[in-house]
């Protein structure tokens, strides 16, 4: 356990940088993968890009379940490490392993089964539906791999070994980037696979990431481990894991609900706006994934220091992370105002789509800076093991404010009203986040 004491001894700024930088780098590479993947799919056809946009909410839901449960696992393990309770940390890891495996198998079956029913809800174009189903059948075969990869990612992060996460994630993303054109267009000995090739490239990259985690774990074991003899599920540990994990899952799943709701609203005006929304969500990963890297570095630090009863240090970690995320969001705002057309042009061919997308980016980016408050606060509350307050913030941000605002403003201003709903929702949620954090922040003697 002594190996983790650096989490409460090193200066906060240096420590957060040390913990977050590997995750920011890996998130940026992951962003690049998302952009490159979408770029190659867009070269197939605009309908292929539309199909990818419609599949995105379900992909996001799969990620939400696996990452959200991992957040709960990370928080519980970090807390027990800070409290010097090694046996309970091992118990959390062991039961987390079994539950992650169960989640992965269930997600594989459900995701493949639901897509032929899900896609026709948002389009009547037979070609778009066919492309979406073909992509889904391949990409969701790897849901179990994703679930186990996220288990090991959060396990390594809980003990502060962020460099390992960076290495494994980057290797998987780079492999994906290389394989995308090879499998889509059939370079060398490979057949032309089209949109299925993009899905297979994604799956192979995920398999590589998991293999690397397993190899590193075998060569350099962690201070906390999953043991078969401790995999018997207990009521108390499951309650703790899901008590944090379920709100985190809902936090991450809410964007899927939002995307589906916005697709339904925008489809009533033009399919172009559905494409614009899909492209926006691809572009915003360049901001929110690096910000998530900061949050991932912050969570175990807050959990460990809370377990060690270092209350003032918890507050300093939060303030430092908030400042870093504000810088990231500020850069994104400048780019969206300065070069919106070139950004949209990466994924859209028609001038009408590029023009509509550029206008959307200029409006939406007004909410980037204030979103830093809710993003940081949600991560801090999850690190403290307070999933309920974190969920309340996300409900405000993605559902309670955003969806009604988008619908009402679209009635008054058309599709443009949906874009204005983004910054209005971010502003109101940021204000609410301040009050929620003050009320929820625990006091320790």
Distances (CA, A) of 233 to 70, 95, 151, 153: 16, 6, 16, 21
Determine what percent of the chain is predicted with pLDDT higher than 70.
96
The CA-CA-CA angle for residues 144, 28, 43, to 5°, reads 80
Q: In this structure, are residues 306 and 383 in contact, taking their beta carbons and an 8 Å threshold?
A: yes
Phi, psi angles (nearest 5°) of residue 265: -70, -50
Neighbours of 249 (CB within 10 A): 25
**Whole-number Å distance between alpha carbons of 49 and 41:** 6
pLDDT of 445 above 50: no
Query: Whole-prediction pTM value?
Result: 0.72
Summarize pLDDT for 245-284 with one digit per residue, the tens: 888 787 777 877 888 899 889 988 888 898 899 888 878 8
Cα-Cα end-to-end distance for the chain:
23
pLDDT at residue 432, as a whole number: 95
293 pLDDT tier (thresholds 50, 70, 90): confident
Summarize pLDDT for 143-160 with one digit per residue, the tens: 999 999 999 988 888 877
Q: Residues 82-92: what's their mean pLDDT?
A: 84
Q: String of b and e for 91-122 (b: at least 16 CB within 10 Å)?
A: bbbbbbbbbbeebbeebbebbbeebeebbbeb
Q: Which residue has the tokens 């809410």?
A: 254
pLDDT of 439 above 70: yes
**Whole-number Å distance between alpha carbons of 317 and 300:** 11
């Amino acid at each position: 356990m002594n190996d983790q004491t650096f989490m409460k001894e090193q200066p906060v700024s240096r420590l957060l940088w040390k913990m977050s930088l590997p995750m920011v780098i890996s998130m940026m590479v992951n962003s690049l993968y998302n952009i490159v993947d979408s770029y190659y799919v867009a070269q197939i056809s605009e309908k292929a890009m539309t199909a990818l946009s419609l599949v995105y909410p379900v992909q996001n839901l799969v990620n939400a379940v696996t990452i959200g449960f991992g957040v709960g696992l990370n928080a519980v393990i970090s807390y027990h490490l800070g409290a010097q309770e090694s046996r309970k940390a091992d118990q959390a890891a062991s039961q987390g392993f079994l539950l992650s495996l169960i989640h992965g198998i269930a997600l594989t079956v459900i995701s493949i089964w639901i897509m032929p029913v899900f896609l026709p809800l948002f389009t009547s174009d037979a070609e778009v539906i066919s492309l979406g189903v073909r992509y889904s059948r391949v990409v969701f075969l790897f849901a179990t791999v994703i679930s186990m990869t996220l288990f090991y990612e959060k396990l390594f992060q809980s003990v502060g070994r962020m460099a390992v996460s960076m290495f494994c994630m980057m290797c998987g993303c780079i492999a994906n980037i290389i394989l995308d054109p090879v499998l889509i267009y059939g370079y060398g000995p490979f057949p032309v696979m089209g949109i299925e090739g993009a899905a297979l490239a994604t799956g192979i990259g995920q398999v590589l990431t998991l293999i690397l985690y397993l190899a590193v774990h075998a060569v350099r074991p962690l201070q906390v481990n999953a043991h078969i003899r401790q995999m018997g599920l207990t009521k108390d540990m499951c309650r703790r894991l899901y008590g944090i994990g379920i709100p985190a899952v809902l936090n991450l799943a809410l964007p899927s609900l939002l995307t589906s709701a916005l697709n339904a609203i925008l489809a009533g005006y033009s399919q172009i706006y559905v494409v614009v929304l899909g492209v926006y969500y691809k572009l915003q990963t360049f901001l929110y994934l690096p910000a998530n890297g900061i949050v991932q570095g912050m969570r175990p630090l807050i959990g460990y220091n809370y377990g060690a009863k270092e209350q003032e240090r918890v507050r300093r970690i939060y303030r430092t992370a908030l400042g870093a995320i504000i810088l990231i969001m500020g850069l994104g705002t400048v780019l969206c105002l300065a070069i919106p057309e070139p950004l949209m042009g990466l994924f859209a061919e028609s001038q009408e789509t590029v023009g509509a997308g550029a206008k959307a980016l200029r409006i939406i980016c007004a909410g980037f800076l204030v979103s830093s408050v809710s993003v940081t606060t949600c991560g801090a509350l999850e690190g403290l093991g307070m999933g309920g307050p974190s969920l309340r913030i996300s409900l405000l941000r993605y559902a309670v404010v955003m969806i009604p605002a988008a619908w009402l403003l679209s009635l008054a201003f058309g599709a443009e009203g949906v874009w204005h709903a983004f910054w209005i929702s971010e502003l109101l949620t940021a204000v609410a986040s301040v009050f929620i954090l003050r009320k929820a922040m625990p006091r320790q003697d």
